[in-house]
Amino acid sequence: MRKIKPLREKPLFGDYIVIAAVVLAAALSFLLTLPGNKAGNTVNITSPGGVSVRSLFEDAEFCVEGADGIVMTVVIEDGSVFAADSGCPDRLCVNKGKIDRPGETIVCLPGHIIISIGGEKEGGDYDCVAG
């Protein structure tokens, strides 16, 4: 039986250029997709009652009424926001903890309440408008 001989034994200089280009492209795409570390400036609260926007830098404690009579206590302090208490059965929104960066959210599914941090854009940080 005849052995198959490889085409070449050692990598050529061009092979190293291709490998370097692939590694560079992967590194650039990774760096471009990292979330920014810029602090947000607004807290967007969406509930069945509507949408409200509050400043992230004004300390406050208030209640948000959700669906099925679920009430969530929201606290804004020291540049972060968290759900202090909620009447929902699973309390995942309370266990989420504090959020302070644009794009982070706290969601209460049974209450249909969404709390998110808005970025530097005025009026919230929206990716697109559908409708």
Model confidence pLDDT, tens digit, residues 109-120: 999 999 999 865
Whether pLDDT at 124 is above 70: no
Q: How far apart are the first and last CA of the chain?
A: 69
Backbone angles phi, psi at 45, to 5 degrees: -115, 120
Can you tell me the mean pLDDT for 116-131? 60
Where are the domains positioned within the chain? 42-118
Instruction: Express as a percent the part of the chain with pLDDT over 90.
Output: 60
Give residue for tokens 């020291």. 78
Cα–Cα distance for residue pair 30/126, rounded to 1 Å: 22
pLDDT number for residue 51:
92
pLDDT at 121: 45
- What is the DSSP secondary-structure string of 4-48? PPPS-SS--HHHHHHHHHHHHHHHHHHHHHSPP-PPP-EEEEEET
The string of pLDDT tens digits covering residues 4-34 is: 777 777 888 888 999 999 999 998 888 776 6
Per-residue confidence (pLDDT) for residue 2, from 0 to 100: 78
* SS3 of 53-89: EEECCCCEEEEEECHHHCEEEEEEECCEEEEEEECCC
Q: Does domain 42-118 have CATH number 2.60.320.10?
A: yes
Mean per-residue pLDDT of the chain: 85
Q: How confident is the model at residue 130 (pLDDT cuts 50, 70, 90)?
A: low
Neighbours of 101 (CB within 10 A): 14
